[in-house]
């Protein structure tokens, strides 16, 4: 198959004064972080001592690099339904982020990026790009410029290197990459065309490194350590070519759109959802090397679910899930401790936390769990158009959970009435396309903390937010309290 070249003609933007700028409804570019203060009258940026000023930033939380324009590598707000093959900057549509030991691994629609975040966590520096349109993958389909091929990324430390797992649709399948810091390199070790995957999680078990990938045929297991030991890059097809990497299917799992992993008591537990197509399931994997022996510990919620998160607080296991309730979406957290023992459980019981969501269930929705200096956070993002006036993302502080209240970070800060839509707009909604200050194609998907810094893949932008309440102290380039990179 031959590659096609698309030529995109971009009109030169006309810069307008602030008063006129607020009347342009959506699509403003280039992207800039939300300013500290806006006018309550028309949403224009004003000094914070202005009598009509509202402070947009939530207490203790602010955007990274306030007042600075995003670099083109993190700004795809001029994307207008045409992805330029091999563009590498300004037209990536960011799908997922995974910070590890001073680097940020980013999945975008046609590839994978590595960003340096240990030099200055607030100002990521692009180190590597591996783009399918450029021929950087062992194999890559060329169906059309607007197709999406890559969805999720996870990473894990292997000695001095990092092994990066990448999930991909169509025949991109599942891939394993190795990032070497010194001498710097980033190369693909393995690619399985036989598993069209949507999400992936990496973990260590028994001194070996593994990854699970959720896809159309179920959840599959891969041996990352074996991939690293291969004599050279290997293009696989469901385990028929490259020995020892593809380990098989986890139990009898079916179609899976999301998964998460929890290690506990010498076992690995994987939860999977299949959106509307299949129920939530929890599987116990006593040995990832033989995933077919996994045992189902729960199968229920037949109405379906989107994002899932399996985590532990105070010695108790919890499941966060974006669940269907009629035609609407609900964020619920369940106590699943009883589901993890040998008898499993027949019902999740009543949720211990419930939150109504604004998105219809048909829209893909995500949950991501991460911690900031020991404080756990759950992030919800929704992939959809017309996000104005909808609670399209939630950042929940679980530090007091389950005994105390769940604190929503995303309801902090001030708000204004947007002149274009008439919606009440806050810190997060300020980015959404239809609002006067909105950015084209911003859709919150995946966000993860690394120390005090929250990195977010929001489709049209890749941005940074700072949890100043965490107490950011730097020591030789790393945050005090974060020993993972020492």
Q: Is the pLDDT of residue 4 over 60?
A: no
In angstroms, what CA-CA distances link 274 with 77, 218, 304, 480?
30, 9, 7, 40
Spatial separation of the C-alpha atoms in residues 190 and 336, rounded to whole Å: 35
Q: Which of 43, 65, 62 is nearest to 53 (CA)?
A: 43
The neighbouring-strand residues paired with 272 are: 259, 281
Domains in the chain and their CATH numbers? 18-479 (2.130.10.10)
Q: In terms of pLDDT, which residue wins out, 140 or 14?
A: 140
| Bond preceding residue 223 cis, omega within 30 of 0 | no
Q: Let me know: does 149 contact 137? Beta carbons within 8 Å.
A: no
Specify the residue for token string 């609670």: 391
The neighbouring-strand residues paired with 329 are: 324
Spatial separation of the C-alpha atoms in residues 462 and 441, rounded to whole Å: 12
Q: Full-prediction pTM beyond 0.85?
A: yes
Record the tokens describing residue 114, joined without a space. 């590595």
Strand 185-192, strand 234-236: pairing: parallel
Rounded average pLDDT over 340-362: 91
Q: In terms of pLDDT, which residue wins out, 144 or 426?
A: 426
Residues whose CB is less than 8 angstroms from the CB of residue 250 and which lie 6 or more positions away in sequence, other chains included: 212, 218, 219, 220, 221, 270, 272, 283, 285, 291, 292, 294
Reported for 403-409, long-range contacts at CB under 8 A and 24+ positions apart, including other chains, are 406/353, 409/58, 409/61, 409/377
Q: Is the pLDDT of residue 6 over 50?
A: no
Spatial separation of the C-alpha atoms in residues 446 and 373, rounded to whole Å: 19
Spatial separation of the C-alpha atoms in residues 94 and 112, rounded to whole Å: 9
Record the tokens describing residue 192, joined without a space. 């399985």
| Residue 218, phi-psi category: left (phi > 0), alpha (psi -120 to 50), beta (remainder) | left
pLDDT at 80: 60
Q: What is the pLDDT of residues 216-267, one digit of tens each?
A: 899 999 999 999 999 999 999 999 999 999 999 999 999 998 999 999 989 9
Band of pLDDT at residue 471, cut at 50, 70 and 90: low
pLDDT at 183: 95
Rounded average pLDDT over 425-451: 92
The per-residue DSSP string of 88-117 comes to -SS---EEEEEEETTEEEEEETTEEEEEE-
Q: Let me know: does 212 contact 270? Beta carbons within 8 Å.
A: yes
Record the tokens describing residue 22, joined without a space. 């607020």
The neighbouring-strand residues paired with 271 are: 260, 282
Q: How far apart are the first and last CA of the chain?
A: 47
Cβ neighbours around 12 below 10 Å, total: 5
Record the tokens describing residue 406, joined without a space. 């769940």
Q: What is the pLDDT of residues 48-95, one digit of tens each?
A: 999 999 999 998 899 999 999 999 899 988 766 566 666 677 778 999
Rounded average pLDDT over 349-363: 89
Strand 94-100, strand 103-108: pairing: antiparallel
Helix (H) or strand (E) holding 319: strand 316-325
Spatial separation of the C-alpha atoms in residues 260 and 336, rounded to whole Å: 14
∠ Cα 185 187 192 (to 5°): 165
Spatial separation of the C-alpha atoms in residues 126 and 114, rounded to whole Å: 6
Most confident among 105-119, 137-151, 321-335, 431-445 (mean pLDDT): 105-119
Percent of the chain with pLDDT over 90: 67
Spatial separation of the C-alpha atoms in residues 466 and 452, rounded to whole Å: 6
- As a residue count, the chain comes to 486
Spatial separation of the C-alpha atoms in residues 396 and 322, rounded to whole Å: 14
Q: For the chain, give me the number of helices (H) and strands (E)?
A: 2, 35
Q: What is the pLDDT of residues 266-311, one digit of tens each?
A: 999 999 998 766 789 999 999 999 999 999 999 988 777 889 999 9
Spatial separation of the C-alpha atoms in residues 182 and 167, rounded to whole Å: 26
């Amino acid at each position: 198959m031959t590659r096609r070249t698309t030529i995109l003609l971009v009109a030169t933007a006309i810069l307008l004064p602030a008063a006129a700028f607020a009347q342009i409804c959506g699509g403003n570019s280039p992207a800039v972080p939300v300013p500290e203060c806006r006018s309550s009258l028309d949403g224009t940026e004003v000094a914070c001592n202005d009598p009509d000023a509202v402070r947009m930033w939530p207490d203790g939380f602010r955007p990274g690099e306030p007042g600075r324009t995003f670099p083109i590598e993190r700004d795809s707000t001029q994307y207008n339904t045409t992805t330029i093959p091999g563009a590498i900057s300004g037209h990536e549509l960011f799908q997922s982020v995974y910070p590890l030991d001073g680097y940020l691994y980013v999945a975008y629609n046609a590839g994978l990026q590595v960003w340096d975040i240990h030099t200055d966590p607030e100002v990521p520096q692009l180190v590597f790009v591996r783009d399918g349109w450029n021929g950087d993958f062992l194999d890559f389909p060329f169906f059309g410029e607007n197709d999406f091929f890559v969805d999720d990324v996870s990473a894990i430390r292997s000695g001095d290197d990092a092994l990066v797992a990448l999930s991909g649709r169509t025949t991109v399948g599942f891939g394993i990459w190795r990032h070497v810091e010194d001498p710097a390199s980033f190369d693909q070790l393995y690619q399985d065309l036989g598993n069209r995957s949507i999400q992936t999680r990496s973990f260590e078990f028994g001194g070996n490194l593994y990854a699970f990938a959720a896809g159309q045929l179920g959840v599959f297991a891969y041996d990352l350590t074996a991939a690293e030991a291969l004599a050279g890059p290997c293009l696989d097809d469901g385990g028929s070519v490259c020995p020892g990497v593809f380990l098989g299917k986890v139990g009898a799992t079916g179609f899976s759109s999301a998964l998460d992993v929890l290690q506990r008591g010498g076992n690995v537990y994987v939860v999977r959802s299949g959106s509307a197509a299949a129920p939530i399931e929890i599987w116990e994997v006593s040995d990832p090397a033989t995933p077919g022996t996994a045992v189902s510990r729960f199968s229920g919620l037949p109405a379906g679910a989107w994002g899932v998160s399996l985590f532990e607080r105070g010695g108790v296991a919890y499941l966060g899930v974006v669940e269907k309730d009629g035609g609407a979406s609900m964020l619920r957290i369940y106590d699943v401790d009883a589901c993890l023992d040998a008898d499993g459980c027949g019902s999740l019981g009543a949720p211990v936390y419930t939150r109504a969501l604004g998105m219809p269930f048909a829209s893909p929705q995500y949950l991501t769990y991460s911690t900031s200096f020991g404080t756990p956070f759950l992030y919800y993002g929704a992939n959809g158009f017309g996000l104005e006036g909808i609670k399209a993302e939630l950042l929940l502080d679980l530090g007091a959970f389950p005994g105390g209240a769940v604190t929503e970070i995303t309801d902090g800060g001030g708000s204004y009435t947007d002149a274009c839509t008439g919606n009440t707009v806050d810190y997060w909604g300020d980015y959404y396309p239809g609002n006067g200050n909105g950015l084209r194609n911003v859709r919150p998907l995946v966000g993860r903390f690394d120390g005090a810094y929250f990195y977010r893949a929001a489709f049209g932008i890749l941005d940074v937010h700072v949890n100043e309440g965490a107490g950011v102290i730097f020591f030789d380039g790393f945050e005090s309290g974060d020993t993972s990179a020492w």
